[in-house]
Amino acid sequence: MSKKHRYLILVAGGRGLRMGASVPKQFLLIAGRPLIFHTIDKFLDYDPAIELIIVLPEKNTTEWEAMCSRYGFTHDHDIIQGGRERYNSVSRGLSLIRQESLVAVHDAVRPLVSRETIERCFSRAEKDGTAVPFISPAESVREIITGDINHSIPRDKVALIQTPQIFRSDILLTSYARVYDPGFTDDASVVEDAGYEINLVEGNRENIKITTAEDLLIAETLLA
């Protein structure tokens, strides 16, 4: 069976308010280059032919073009303006899908995703239509019922979800045709709400989402 065409929708529409920086966190320098370029590298190393769709805040388009020139990023890609919510940003990225394919949706601020995680997700999505990476929690887990009422949950019953989340294009397009719900926290929640089964795939623990200054230090160390 021939492999399906591949797209990467890179969600880079956040402002990074928790980082406290003057530029979006995906543009912060790490190991000498903007963080977003490290993330893109991981996917191009895996598949140089992957079609790249980058979802950016509208006001940062000019800054993106300047960074591409400064750091010599010449790979073909499409740019589209992000929306108010992540759901809207992904939906806009999906408008550029031009053929039946596998579509990976990945957070631009996860530069430490491993090649093995990317490969496992594409392989499972090719076979079963959906693939979402996860890791098991290292700490004990408790569910808060209400106020001070809570109880312990076995760690093997909890999955911490990562990206890339990869789906057949028809599944993702059908799912994102639905009306937005605040409960849609990631692509898997949208696809699940549309009635599709979510297949969990082993992720990698280093694949953290860069959200705070401490996360940036960890990523700098690992990428250096």
| Number of alpha carbons in the 13 Å side-chain half-sphere of residue 199 | 16
Nearest to 166 by CA among 192, 130, 134, 136: 130
CB-neighbour burial class of residue 127 (10 A; exposed 0-12, middle 13-18, buried 19+): exposed
Do residues 78 and 55 make contact, with C-beta atoms less than 8 angstroms apart?
A: no
* Per-residue pLDDT reduced to its tens digit, 100-118: 999 999 999 999 999 999 9
Residue labelled with tokens 């079609």: 51
* Per-residue pLDDT reduced to its tens digit, 53-91: 999 987 888 999 999 999 999 999 999 999 989 999 999
- H/E element, 52: strand 51-56
CA 104 – CA 127 distance, rounded (Å) = 14
Residue pLDDT tens, the chain, 224 long: 457 899 999 999 766 555 555 678 899 999 999 999 999 999 999 999 999 999 998 788 899 999 999 999 999 999 999 998 999 999 999 999 999 999 999 999 999 999 999 999 999 999 999 999 999 999 999 999 999 999 999 999 999 999 999 999 999 999 999 999 999 999 999 999 999 999 999 999 999 999 999 999 999 999 88
Q: For the chain, what is the total number of helices (H) and then of strands (E)?
A: 7, 12
Which domains does the chain show, CATH number per domain? 5-223 (3.90.550.10)
Residue labelled with tokens 């499409």: 78
Cα of first residue to Cα of last residue in the chain, in angstroms, is 39
Backbone dihedral region of 18: left (phi > 0), alpha (psi from -120 to 50 degrees) or beta?
Answer: alpha
Helix (H, G, I), strand (E, B) or coil at 11: strand
